């Protein structure tokens, strides 16, 4: 019995020695091994996880990219495309999660970079890449008014697309108009023409003279629906010129030009023959779109083929302001034309020299109204309330 008690006492003392030898030193736990040597448990290294998973393809560009570190914190995180352009992003407060803050591009390859430092003090590099899905097509948009142009007070801003845009709201949200003075206006989607969609920005009333305008269309990679996306961003900065308005009262047989509130011309004129609906000049706000020193005009229906001088187009239905010596006797007294506004050669040249793209031509007192069937720029045939309904937003 005495021998058994002695063995138990030795075993208890040995066990107590192992337990009491454990101490915490400098963030590490040191345990005395049975042989007397210390054993150290190291702090864990950093591990990084990615969304989308690294080295995957066909990623949705609308999804956010994230990198998350466990057992450590990020020193720096970068996500760059194949051109070296960095994707904007931000770290959370404890620097354990980085999240992209801007949309990714379509059909692009992105690569992770940067480092994280683990609780063990060692740095871990960020590695890996992923590729976003490619669009079914890229649709390009162009602005009708180029940089540094000066245009008239009725000029609409037009974005013309080279294909059909299904998601018009997405496209419209990417469009912005900035002006040097406050101008109320709105975007309106017009029927597709020439195989592509088109959207115009029109002010509520005519532009204030001398306004500086900047159009920004951030359309690149905007999803248009059906797998199509925007091809590129488009911008333009231009100027509204003097306020010139043509007052074309068919009953007066005159054409009056008002500039900045002052009359500068009052010309004898002849308008379309009222008794023939096919020859009427249309009443309403026309917009000057182009001009020609010489313009060939042809009509099989009425049997003419002639070149007219100083022709200013005011609609796409064949209406021009131009010189016509053949109607000189009627100018100022009767309306005999095929729908154009006829002036003498000298008067037509004088007006031609002042005309700008976007100038309004206000035709009144004719039997038929201008409509969407009569030309390319019919924005002003609609009331402001009706125009606003054409927005997709």
Active site residues: 322, 340
SS3 assignment for 350-392: HHHCCCCCCCEEEEECCCCECCHHHCCCCHHHCCHHHHHCCCC
Q: Are 269 and 249 in contact (CB under 8 A)?
A: no
Its sign, for the CA torsion 300, 302, 304, 307, is: negative
Distance (Å, whole) CA 355 – CA 244: 8
Count of Cβ atoms closer than 10 Å to residue 259 Cβ: 16
Its sign, for the CA torsion 351, 356, 357, 363, is: negative
CA distances from 235 to 50, 99, 128, 345 (A): 36, 29, 35, 39
Instruction: Give the three-state DSSP class for 186.
Output: strand
Distance (Å, whole) CA 31 – CA 36: 9
Identify how many contiguous H helices and E strands the chain contains and give both numbers: 4, 32
Distance (Å, whole) CA 112 – CA 17: 51
């Amino acid at each position: 019995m005495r021998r058994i008690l002695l063995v138990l006492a030795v075993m208890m003392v040995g066990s107590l020695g192992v337990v009491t030898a454990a101490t915490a030193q400098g963030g590490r736990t040191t345990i005395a091994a049975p042989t007397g040597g210390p054993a150290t448990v190291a702090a864990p290294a950093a591990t990084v996880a990615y969304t989308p998973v690294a080295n995957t393809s066909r990623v949705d560009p609308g999804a956010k990219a994230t990198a998350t570190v466990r057992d450590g914190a990020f020193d720096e995180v970068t996500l760059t495309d194949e051109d070296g352009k960095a994707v904007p992003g931000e770290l959370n407060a404890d620097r354990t999660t980085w999240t992209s803050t801007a949309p990714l591009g379509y059909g692009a390859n992105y690569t992770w970079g940067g480092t994280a430092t683990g609780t063990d003090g060692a740095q871990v590099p960020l590695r890996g890449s992923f590729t976003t899905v490619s669009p079914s097509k890229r649709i390009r948009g162009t602005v009708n008014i180029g940089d540094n142009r000066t245009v008239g007070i009725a000029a609409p801003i037009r974005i013309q697309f080279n294909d059909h845009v299904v998601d018009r709201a997405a496209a419209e949200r990417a469009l912005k108009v900035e002006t040097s003075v406050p101008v109320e206006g709105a975007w309106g989607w017009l029927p597709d023409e020439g195989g592509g969609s088109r959207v115009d920005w029109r002010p509520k009333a005519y532009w204030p003279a001398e306004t500086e305008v900047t159009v920004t269309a951030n359309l690149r990679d905007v999803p248009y629906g059906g797998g199509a996306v925007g091809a590129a961003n488009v911008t333009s900065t231009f100027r509204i010129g003097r306020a010139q308005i043509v007052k074309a009262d068919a009953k007066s047989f005159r054409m009056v030009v008002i500039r900045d509130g002052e009359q500068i011309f009052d010309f004898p004129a002849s308008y379309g023959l009222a008794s023939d609906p096919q020859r009427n000049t249309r009443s309403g706000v026309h917009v000057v779109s182009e001009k020609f020193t010489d313009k060939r005009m042809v009509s099989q229906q009425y049997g003419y083929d002639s070149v007219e001088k100083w022709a200013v187009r005011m609609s796409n239905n064949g209406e021009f302001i131009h010189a016509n010596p053949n109607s000189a006797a009627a100018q100022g007294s009767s309306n005999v034309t095929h729908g154009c506004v006829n002036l003498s050669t000298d008067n037509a040249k004088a007006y031609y020299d002042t005309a700008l793209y976007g100038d309004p031509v206000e035709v009144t007192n004719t039997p038929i109204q201008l409509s969407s069937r009569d030309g390319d720029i019919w924005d002003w045939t609609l009331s402001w309330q009706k125009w606003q309904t054409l927005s997709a937003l």
